[in-house]
Structure 1
């Protein structure tokens, strides 16, 4: 079929909006509502799990053997661990990220009774007071505190403000969109993936394309804490492609341009056949791509498999610099991943037996073997 064009303006508009909605793991309801309304506007009927993971289905030629695409709405953040005697807050992180990137961040504290603003600071923040100690103090969550923008110098005064242990702290994204395509922001992992999926759905629905099987568009709410796609996948789904960030760091092969296909992460190799299909779609359609392996990384696909879903999984990524910090991406990668997804959801089914949970060995796919070995 003809190429489905990704609307870059729509993609960027969605990314701007989603970044503006706080959604650290545990406080995702508002972002879930926004994404659900946008899916409805695009013509789909989103279904929500009890906690808010989203599933919307584009009907294809067949229900069995459905394909699923997933990204996660939740982001990193923090929680109030203790209220200190000076009225400031001790924090613990939500998700895995360094306190080095928390220092200086502007934040919102979501209390049950009141919402307040503040700043995360190192314990020794004033050079006029601590001199060189501001540079030599250790880095870690035990060495930062949250200064609340309200009159308080004691634990009692902070409690009276309506702040309590366990309150969610959302970190400002500090987003900047440049004319040359670069985007700098916190939480691009994985709000950029959400924007890519919405732009893919928009292109798919606008074109009137019909997929060979149902396409399940999934948006999860707890990937950063390891839960991810564990409870939002129906039994008729045969394959799952996760959309997330790839790390453009020394020793990695990821790029901020084109698509980066992850071959393995800390949970092991991704499915041979599905990954190969995505690679061949890039080659056939002139989409720039690279392959990479992520050592300290897991995605929605890992939680899906750990939950017992017998599905093929793959991971396609947009290269991101300084992941889980102040991140940077480029529009070229976002658009490229979206183009790959449009080709994937409209491509023919390559493994027919995947419509069945169990089948005979004759229909089971093959992997290449050396010519010197007998064919199995």
Structure 2
């Protein structure tokens, strides 16, 4: 199986995905990109009313179903106010810290689909002018967007077509290194979307019929809490969210293995399904780390909160510096792809 997983192909899929702006609430372009990929494989797709993308692979057993999800929406921002000096105040989309986007290039998309570039900066940026440049609080009052146009007033900005409520996306700055790393914004969770795309392609090429009918949801509202909590068929017994593994002090997760989550802020994941994933990893020589994410929630936990009667689990590649300048390694992608593949071919956990 490891010979079949092509990490170079996965990396290129990720590169394409992160290069398409898709903050939560504005994901049509990237959903269409994924849809076209599946259509080229000869797969039928459908959209839910929220704009997410569903793909179903029929199985030998159509009475018991599985459901997998990864989310294509990302962190971003929206224009909160046009300032009198021609700069923009922002409101966050998703949970990040303002210092993580300070100095970042960005793109403003208007309601008429015009796009303007800019830079996210502190108002008190110049040390030659502002004595408190290093100490001023990084917050929504001091952070602003410098638009790359000749604008000096609120009216100048409005004449460009920019208005309150326009989406602002962050430049990903994606790079693949010779040492096997991929670094970029928005690996959460476009790395996992690429993994599902690649594994589905492998199954299609091999002509494998899965033991159970399996649904794949490319969700588009996870960063704001409700991406994968709907459109789950009543026959579904197992729900596997594929999302990043968080790295930091006290965490077991690293950039070179697949992370299996035992518990996050929503509580423990289903013990039986978690053990099933752990046993599959051991049986197939998949390197994994069991971990707990204290400030984390997934589409699987959102489905449980919505009242679905499911066994839920969460796995994913280890992502360093989550919600900032993220990075992972090709070996983490490899082990995660292998676990997804073997899980899909395995018997239902009971």
Q: What TM-score results when the alignment is normalised by the length of structure 1?
A: 0.91
Equivalent residue number for residue 279 of structure 2: 280
* Residue of structure 1 equivalent to 2:123: 123
Deviation at 1:5, TM superposition (A): 2.2
SS in 1 for 2:149: coil
Cα deviation, residue 43, structure 1 = 2.5
Residue 184 (structure 1) aligns with: 183
Q: Which moved more, 1:303-312 or 1:332-341?
A: 303-312
**SS of residue in 2 equivalent to 1:230:** coil
Equivalence for 2:330? 331
Query: Which segment drifts farther, 229-238 or 193-202?
Result: 229-238
Partner of 1:208: 207
Cα distance between partner residues in 1 of 2:14 and 2:134: 35
Q: Deviations for 1:282-324, whole angstroms, at most 9, x for unmatched residues?
A: 0000001111101100011111112221111000021111100
Normalised to the residue count of structure 2, the TM-score between the two structures is 0.97
- Secondary structure of 2:285's partner? coil
- 5+ residue gaps, structure 2, are none
**Alignment of 1:155 onto 2:157:** no
Distance 2:168 2:12 in 1: 25
How far did 1:19 drift?
1.1
Matched, 1:67 2:69: no
Shift of 1:142: 2.1
**2: distance between equivalents of 1:197 and 1:4?**
17
CA distance in 1, matches of 2:80, 2:196: 35
Structure 1 position 226, deviation (Å):
0.3
Residue 310 of structure 1 is matched in structure 2 by: 309
* Alpha-carbon offset, residue 13 of structure 1: 1.6
Could you say which residue in structure 2 is the equivalent of 1:234?
233
Q: Which runs of 4+ in 1 moved over 6 A?
A: none
CA distance 1:190–1:99, shift in 2 (3 Å): same
Q: Is the 8 A contact 1:78 1:170 kept in 2?
A: yes
* Structure 1 stretch displaced more, 46-55 or 335-344: 46-55
Equivalent pair of 2:210/2:344 in contact (CA under 8 Å): yes
> What secondary structure, in the 3-state scheme, does the structure 1 residue paired with 2:260 have?
strand
User: Per-residue displacement from partner, 1:311-358 (whole Å, max 9, x unpaired)?
Assistant: 11000021111100011111111111110011000012232xxxxxxx
**Cα distance in 2, alignment partners of residues 32 and 350 from structure 1:** 31
Contact 2:53 2:218 survives alignment (8 Å): yes
| C-alpha distance in 2 between matches for 1:179 and 1:4 | 20
Q: Which residue of 2 aligns with 1:222?
A: 221
Residue in 2 aligned with 1:173? 172
1:332 is paired with a residue whose SS is helix
Alignment partner, residue 341 of structure 1 = 340
CA distance in 2 between counterparts of 1:86 and 1:94 reads 24
Cα deviation digits, residues 51-105 of structure 1 (max 9, x gap): 3111101111011221111100100000011111111000011001000011111
Q: What is the DSSP-based 3-state SS (H/G/I as helix, E as strand, rest coil) of the residue aligned with 2:248?
A: coil
2:144 equivalent to 1:145: yes
**1:125 match: secondary structure:** coil
What is the RMSD of the two structures over their aligned residues, measured on CA atoms? 1.2
The alpha-carbon deviation at position 3 of structure 1 amounts to: 6.9
Number of aligned residue pairs: 349
Equivalent position SS for 1:75: coil
Q: Report Cα offsets for 1:180-218 as digits up to 9, x if no partner.
A: 111111000000010011111111111111211111111
Displacement of 1:152 in angstroms is 0.8
CA contact (8 A) 1:121 1:145 kept: yes
CA distance in 1: counterparts of 2:3 and 2:297, whole angstroms: 30
